[in-house]
Amino acid sequence: MTIPIYASSITRTSARYQGAQQTLNKLELVKRELQCHLTAVVQEERLIESWIERIGTEHATAESTATIQGRRETILKKAKEYRAALDVIVAKVPRVPHPMIFFHF
């Protein structure tokens, strides 16, 4: 073999090596990007799981609509009783006219 053949062979090998190195670098960037996406997805999954758990426990401990409506009716009835008692008390209190002050200029 002659020197030009060796030089040509070395040039081709060098070109292949650089192409392979570029591909390796691109693959490394893709790998890092995928790892970042995976980390974000794992965090979102944990968040969703915590929401599902929280919703499940709130739903299990939540009062039924009928219970809430019953409590509401009881509170309204008691409020009407208090209002009637207040009206009776106010009716018994004598009304004192407010003094009028006249200014003469």
Please tell me whether residues 39 and 88 are part of one structural domain. no
pLDDT in the model for residue 56: 78
Please tell me whether residues 2 and 52 are part of one structural domain. yes
**What is the SS3 string spanning the chain?**
CCHHHHHHHHHHHHHHHHHHHHHHHHHHHHHHHHHHHHHHHHHHHHHHHHHHHHHHHHHHHCCCHHHHHHHHHHHHHHHHHHHHHHHHHHHHCCCCCCCCCCCCC
**CA–CA separation, 82 vs 76, rounded Å?**
10
**CA–CA separation, 78 vs 82, rounded Å?**
6
> 21 lies in which domain range?
1-61
pLDDT for 5 beyond 60: yes
Answer with the residue of higher pLDDT: 41 or 69. 41
pLDDT in the model for residue 45: 95
Please tell me whether residues 10 and 50 are part of one structural domain. yes
Number of domains in the chain: 2
For residues 34-57, average pLDDT:
90
Answer with the residue of higher pLDDT: 91 or 75. 75
Please tell me whether residues 28 and 6 are part of one structural domain. yes
**In which band, very low, low, confident or very high, does the pLDDT at 37 lie, cut at 50, 70 and 90?**
very high
